[in-house]
Structure 1
Amino acid sequence: MPDDLAERIRQAIGEDPNIGEIRMFGGICFTLNGNMMVGTMKDGTLLARVGEGQEAEALSKPGATRMNFTGREMKGFIIVAADELSDDALKRWIAMASRFVGAMPAKKPGAKKKK
C-alpha cells in the first residue's frame, strides 16, 4: 500500500528538481529543498507536514488526525486515513504541506544541526 501511495504522490508532484525521496517511518518521505513535506506510512496512510499555523484547518478535514509517534503527538504533522485520499484530496494535502515547507530555508545536503 505505501508503494501505491508513493507512486500517486510522484504523479501529483511531477518533475521537480527540489523534491527528494528518503525511506522513513516504514514508508517513503518526500522532501522539498531537503525538508520533510509528505510521506507514506506502512499502513497506507499519508503523513503531511502542515505546520502549526495550518493545523486547525488540516484537522477539520475528513480522516485527519495529529501524528502520534511512540505515544507523543507531533504538532504540525497530520496523518490522513487512506480511504480519504482521493486524487483531488491528495493534491490538496500536498499543496498544504508545500505551502508550509516551501517557506522553510533549504537544508544543505548532509547538514546536521549543532547542539
Structure 2
Amino acid sequence: MAYDQHLADRIAQELQAQGINAEAKRLMGGLCFVLNEKMCVGTSIDKASNKPKLIARIGARAVDTALADKNCLPFQPAGRVMRDFISVLDEGIDSDEGLSHWIRLSVDFNHKLDEKKT
C-alpha cells in the first residue's frame, strides 16, 4: 500500500480546516479518509508516473464533468472503473486551492449519500 505521506497530511489538514472529522484507513491501495462510514477521499501512487494522486469520491455525474480536466482520470483499481470515483494527478492538486476543490466535492457527495438513507 503505497501513498505519499505529505499529500496525506495535506488532505488531513484540509479536512480539518473544513471542519470535517474523518478517519484515516488503509484502503484501495493507499490511505483513505472515511466519513460517515464511507470512503470520501484518499491518496495513492499513480503507477504510470510514480507520483502521488488523489482519489476522490464525487459521484458519477461529477465524474463525467471532471474527466474534461486534463489532470483527471477514471479511478481504476485492478483495471475496473469505479463510477463514483476519480483520480486526480499531482498537477491537479499541487495548489491548496486545487486540493480543496476536490475535497469539497468529495465531502459534498458523501453528505448526499447520507441524505439518501433518510
Q: TM class, shorter-chain normalised?
A: 0.7 to 0.9
Q: Distance in 2 between matches of 1:100 and 1:48?
A: 10
Counting aligned pairs with the same residue, the percent is 34
Q: Distance in 2 between matches of 1:78 and 1:61?
A: 11
Matched with 2:54 is: 46
Matched with 2:15 is: 13
Q: Distance in 1 between matches of 2:88 and 2:26?
A: 19
Answer whether contact 1:50 1:58 (CA < 8 A) is retained.
no
TM-score by length of structure 1 reads 0.82
Are residues 1:84 and 2:86 paired? no
Structure 1 residues without counterparts, runs of 5 or longer: 107-115
Structure 2 residues without counterparts, runs of 5 or longer: 47-51
1:1-115 correspondence to structure 2 within 5 Å: 2-14=4-16, 16=19, 18-43=21-46, 44-85=52-93, 86-105=95-114
Answer whether contact 2:32 2:43 (CA < 8 A) is retained.
yes
Q: Give the letter for the 1:84 counterpart.
A: G
Runs of 4+ in 1 over 6 A off after TM superposition: none
State the superposition RMSD in angstroms. 1.9
TM-score by length of structure 2 reads 0.80
Offset of residue 17 of structure 1: 6.2
Deviations 1:12-68 (A, max 9, x none): 111646411101133210111111011010341100001112112221223001111
Deviations 1:59-93 (A, max 9, x none): 12230011112121111210011122111000000
Q: Distance in 1 between matches of 2:45 and 2:64?
A: 25
Q: Distance in 1 between matches of 2:31 and 2:91?
A: 19
Answer whether contact 2:28 2:77 (CA < 8 A) is retained.
no
Answer whether contact 2:15 2:21 (CA < 8 A) is retained.
no
